[in-house]
Structure 1
Amino acid sequence: MPASRVWLVTGASSGFGLEMVRCALSHGDKVVATLRKPAVLADFASQYQASQLILVELDVTKPQDIRAAFTRAEATFGRVDVVFNNAGFIVAGEAEGTPDDLARQMFEVNFWGAVHVSQEAVRFFRDENKPQGGYLIQNSAAVGIFAFPFLPFYGATKHALEGFTESLSHEVNPAWNIKITIVEPGAFKSDILSAMQVAPQHPAYADPTLPVSKARQLFEAGPKAGDFVENFGLADTAKGVQKIYKLTTVPNPPLRLPLAHDAVGRIRELALGLVKNVDAYASWSDGLAS
């Protein structure tokens, strides 16, 4: 990649998206910051020249908006080197208590929106960039690897994105010079928590000793009370995106990057448990040949 890269960031209005925009600009890179309401970042953008930063309206549920954003990026900067695929939101609630319309809308944004951005990114890296190539960074979540009560559908959107992205990584021709990494953040201080939608509690899960009930208490009390970081030790998002930026300097970046110690610990525990389970029941596959 060139010394000064061009980034396209989705969901740039707040959280990881906005911090990544700040981070890339601080390193001298150029940024196409996309969001549903560009006016939200008007004051922020006024601090930079149009040769450094442009704001582009983008609703990731609209494929025409995605194509237009990449076209605008090419017209302004000539290429796109890194796509930080970040747009998303959280709906929390019990599996039985989350309304279908909320869960489906989350899939439209977190999964299908991210998929369509990914497809256009790969096409653009291959067919438009000269020289060919680019880096797709999916901002998934640690709950895209392990399951967590109270986040069944949010976790499902990230599990689906993980599966899609891993398949995509096996499909792209190495000659295209396209790199792909899935970032799996753990618990970070981010606006996505404050904006989280919470479904009403299903009465069957009102028992306060149940894990899902405890998780509800954790999520409902924390962000609204303003003490989530102090009480539960959320990681710093600005520091987190610096680690993500570092990926773009690594010659052979990993397919997956768990980020924050809670994510590392839970994913390691899951991996060890999977190996133990596979080994314990491996013999059950003996004698199945037809």
Structure 2
Amino acid sequence: MTYSAQKVWFVTGASSGLGRAVVEHILAKGDKVVATLRKPSALSDLVPKHSADQLLVLKLDVVLPSDITAAFAAALAKFGRIDVVYNNAGMSSLGEVEGTQDSIARRLFEVNFFGATNVTREAVRVFRDENKPRGGRLLQASSMAAMQAIAGVGYYSATKFALEGVTQALAAELHPSWGIKITLIELGGFRTSILSEQENLHVAPVHPAYTAVDLASAGFRELTGSGKLAASCGDANKAAREIYKVGLDDSVGFRVPLGLDAIAAVGAQLDETRRDVDAARKWSVDLK
């Protein structure tokens, strides 16, 4: 993207965590940002510190398609184009697959998959049909759990698997002349509100069959509840710095694992998958 030195960013889930950290980093770098969130009052402390020509705060609940189209329209009316979309809004749930209520599982998919996918589709439309010249960057906030599912957060992992699947298909569907680049950022663990039960993490009661302390899901519960998981996670502000760099780098690949834990998890899953594929070859050699 060489048409303008100053970019216009559109960030979902900007109230806290990585969303807010990315917004603050964008502002510090001098770019313009449309910060969207369910409760705009959460950014009331930021608004007085920045010019209306640099920061636009909008209400956006990603489960409401009308909110999505309205927010993109308002962003275009204000700034004329959108260069980078950081599709960040999400939630999580801690609980065994057997112990997670259908209502919680469906809510996870409404936010993390359908909401994120609807933002994705509108971003692509804007990049292609509204931007002059055409083009834009979509940064999809995925997770290392999309490559190596984590015991205790099975449904969260599933939503990220699904988001990666639809994103990969969409990326293959785009015409090169549209100038649209999509990147999955497979996030490792960072200290954000996704680890807070009060805000974005639903905690299900332990399923009676999963009370043994040596189970993987029990270990993950203990790490989360004790605060040890948060303590071991990376700095969200440093992650925001790197996400910003990725958003301006046209040479990055389709997937960017972010964090040494993400690099390790994705690498381990690739090794395991390759072993399984190689071992399965004997069943496929005589099928024609």
Q: Does TM, scored on the shorter chain, surpass 0.5?
A: yes
Partner SS state of residue 274, structure 2: helix
Query: Cα offset for 1:216?
Result: 1.3
Q: Which moved more, 1:275-284 or 1:14-23?
A: 275-284
Q: Which amino acid aligns with 2:47?
A: A
Counterpart of 1:150 (choices 146, 149, 152) is 152
Partner Cα distance (1:211, 1:135) in 2: 37
Could you say which residue in structure 2 is the equivalent of 1:116? Answer: 118
Q: Which runs of 5+ in 1 are unaligned?
A: none
Indicate the residue corresponding to 1:181 in structure 2.
Answer: 183
Aligned length: 283
Match of 2:256 in 1: 257
Shift of 1:249: 2.8
Partner Cα separation in structure 1 for residue 170 and residue 48 of structure 2:
37
Q: Alignment partner of 1:18: what SS?
A: helix
- Corresponding residue for residue 198 of structure 1: 203
TM-score, normalised with respect to structure 2? 0.96
Whether contact under 8 Å (2:195, 2:230) holds in the other structure is no
Tell me how far 1:251 sits from its aligned partner: 2.7
Deviation at 1:142, TM superposition (A): 0.7
1:198-231: per-residue Cα shift (whole Å, max 9, x none)? Answer: 0000010001111111111111221xxxx5444x
Letter in structure 2 aligned against 1:251: D
The letter for the 2-side match of 1:282 is R
Counting aligned pairs with the same residue, the percent is 47
- Structure 1 segments of 4 or more deviating over 4 A? none
Which position in structure 2 is the counterpart of 1:219? 224
- 1:5 counterpart letter in structure 2: K
- Residues 131-166 of structure 1, C-alpha deviations (whole Å, 9 max, x = no match): 100000000111011111000000000000010111
Tell me, yes or no, if structure 1 residue 209 matches structure 2 residue 214. yes
Structure 1, 67-76 or 210-219: larger mean CA deviation: 210-219
In structure 2, distance between residues paired with 1:52 and 1:287: 62
Give the SS at the match of 2:45.
helix
Counterpart amino acid of 1:72?
A
TM-score by length of 1: 0.96
**Alignment deviations for residues 25-49 of structure 1 (CA, whole Å, 9 cap, x no partner):** 1111100000001011112111101
Structure 2 unmatched ranges of 5 or more: none
The answer to whether the Cα contact below 8 Å between 2:96 and 2:151 also exists between their aligned partners in 1 is: yes
Of 59, 63, 85, 1:61 maps to: 63
AA aligned opposite 1:30: K
Q: Residue 30 of structure 1 aligns with which residue?
A: 32
- For residues 49 and 31 of structure 1, what CA distance do their matches in structure 2 show? 11
Q: Which amino acid aligns with 1:257?
A: V
Once the two structures are superposed, residues 69-121 of structure 1 have per-residue CA deviations (whole angstroms, 9 ceiling, x without a partner) of: 01000110000000000000111100000011011011000000000000000
* Maintained 8 Å contact 2:86/2:141: yes
The whole-number CA distance in structure 2 between the counterparts of 1:153 and 1:228 is: 19
Give the distance between the partners of 1:265 and 1:234, measured in 2 at CA.
Answer: 14
CA contact (8 A) 2:93 2:156 kept: yes
Q: Matches of residues 70-81 of structure 1 in structure 2 within 5 Å? A: 70-81=72-83
- The amino acid across from 1:205 in the alignment is Y
Task: Give the distance between the partners of 2:277 and 2:229, measured in 1 at CA.
Answer: 37
